[in-house]
Structure 1
């Protein structure tokens, strides 16, 4: 029984409890779930062999069949047991950080847009921080967005203001 749980066991290797083995298998399955959830463009950045890629493609096809997908994710977890998962984990961490940075930037742009519309001195602060912005266009869009809000019109200038300030804002602040 212990050989089944531990595979090829060396004298130096510590015995793992059945619970520890189960936790490790569940962690690999969670990693597999995360790979299945990735968009194809992000998944292409993750280093993996052809067998694992094929399994993930099949998981995409099984997305409408809940029970089949659950069993297939267990299979992906079993596949991952025989692989070096460190490069996969590193690639996933990089993807997570990229997504978090994009979210932070999005929120920062939203905050600036809202501040520009609400505060009179916000334009001066924005231009001081981002001097390369077209001030005339910025002021014009702010006025248009404020008029849209007052008249309860569709937020066309509101969106254009977001698009104008987005390229200037970075997340390193």
Structure 2
């Protein structure tokens, strides 16, 4: 008696083709990303170069199709799961990322409803420029009142999002001169 896993047959041609098409589709998602979001996805350098080359192709012709196939071939040697997770975060599909965005939206709504929320934000994020945030709040309320485009409203969201990102967290390392 042998273990059923040992007798497992190699993948069929159809299975291999589906896997290759899935990698190509993942590569196409990478190519379709805006450059600023692309920078946030961790990729091996050869794959990053192949994606950049496809992004520079303005026409969707045979050359671009071949480049996408090449990206799929390069991806055979890469674990696609970390790339899929990174894409989910960049697209906002990640549950954590979605929860963070909802939390920021609630904070923005609370700030617009009550100026006292400004002090709570300043307490939680000491690096925030209170005067700038206060002026954005006033401008956003004025925009809402006058039915104008919500520029300041969006700026508040971006400011809160930047404050909430780990890259903005204060560093305790190298703050002191170690002699």
Instruction: State the TM bucket, normalised to the shorter chain.
Output: 0.5 to 0.7
**Cα offset, 1:21, TM superposition:** 1.4
Gaps of 5+ in 2: 1-5, 167-179
- Equivalent in the alignment of 1:127: 119
- Equivalent in the alignment of 1:93: 85
1:58 to 53, 58, 79: 53
Instruction: Say which one has the larger Rg.
Output: 1
CA contact (8 A) 2:118 2:134 kept: no
CA distance in 2, matches of 1:138, 1:55: 42
CA contact (8 A) 1:46 1:92 kept: no
Gaps of 5+ in 1: 1-10
* CA pair 165-123 structure 1, distance change in 2 beyond 3 A: farther
Question: Between Structure 1 and Structure 2, how many residues are aligned?
Answer: 152
- Equivalent in the alignment of 2:68: 73
- Equivalent in the alignment of 1:41: 39
| TM score, norm. by length of structure 1 | 0.57
**Cα offset, 1:46, TM superposition:** 1.1
- Equivalent in the alignment of 2:25: 30
RMSD of aligned alpha carbons: 4.0
**Cα offset, 1:41, TM superposition:** 2.9
